[in-house]
Amino acid sequence: MNTHIKNGQSHAAADTRKAAYAVVLTAIGVALAPYTSFPVLIAKINPTQHFVNVLGAVLLGPWWALLIAAVVGAIRNAMGVGTLLAFPGGMIGAFLAGWFYWWQKNVTHAAIGEVVGTGLLAPVASALFVAPVLMGKAIPFLALMPSFLASTIVGAVLGVLGLRLLKRADVIEFTDRSMNKTILGTTLLVVGVIILIVVYSMRPPSDFGNAFGQGRQLLYQIFLAIGGIASLFGVIYIFLDLQAKKGTE
């Protein structure tokens, strides 16, 4: 019976600690939002949200990270420093970051999950559902993707750096296994191919004679380059990992 009591107490303590972490991360996301939210093209971006997503994903798991992102998004909208795009822009990346970390127990994989969720999936959800249905606006996917990607990459990198600095200072403790290069390469390859398919499916603008048309053409070329580079690095990572495994046999 004493064992059951001790186990119950340890579970209660763990839940209390998780709730405390969640409150602190939510407070960070809300407190810094007015200073780190700024417009890029058609959306407001907030790298702090993605920094918080990575911390929440590693320290608490996917469901807690998802809840934190939802609460921060709701408070940001209430404060007038966010739009409804904050919900897909924060919640999808938070959940995938937590799932990627749970899967591999590697902080870099958590950051990859955040970038994939926010940079690729969130613009799709925003362009197809949130913007036209909830906001009454037609926002092209290609107009959202640059701002979402810029925001999540900055926040994810800061999240990884913050976690490792806090761990080195013995403030927090978490598992950070060595990175699986095959999984990283496969993720990069899949992401690169998806970007190429999406961009190729969109006709390049024909009105190159004005600044708007030239800007769209530049975005088109940038994303073709990103998709190609991601695919190339994916293939290289997979090849190097396979060669390393052959060398150890």
- Given a cut of 60, whether residue 105 has pLDDT beyond it is yes
Q: Has this prediction a pTM greater than 0.75?
A: yes
Domain boundaries, the chain: 11-178, 180-249
81 Cβ neighbours under 8 A, 6+ residues apart: 33, 34, 37, 44, 46
Of the two residues 2 and 83, the one the predictor is more confident about is 83
Q: Which CATH architecture has domain 11-178?
A: Orthogonal Bundle (1.10)
What does pLDDT average to over the chain?
81
Question: Could you tell me if 89 and 155 are in contact, meaning their C-beta atoms sit under 8 angstroms apart?
Answer: no
Structure confidence by residue, pLDDT tens digits, 147-196: 888 889 889 999 999 999 999 998 888 888 777 777 778 888 888 887 78
- Given a cut of 80, whether residue 101 has pLDDT beyond it is yes
- Given a cut of 60, whether residue 209 has pLDDT beyond it is no
In whole angstroms, what is the distance from residue 226 CA to residue 220 CA?
A: 10
Structure confidence by residue, pLDDT tens digits, 21-48: 999 999 999 998 888 877 765 666 788 9
Amino acid identity for residue 24 in this structure: V
Question: Could you tell me if 75 and 30 are in contact, meaning their C-beta atoms sit under 8 angstroms apart?
Answer: yes
Q: What pLDDT score does 61 carry? A: 93
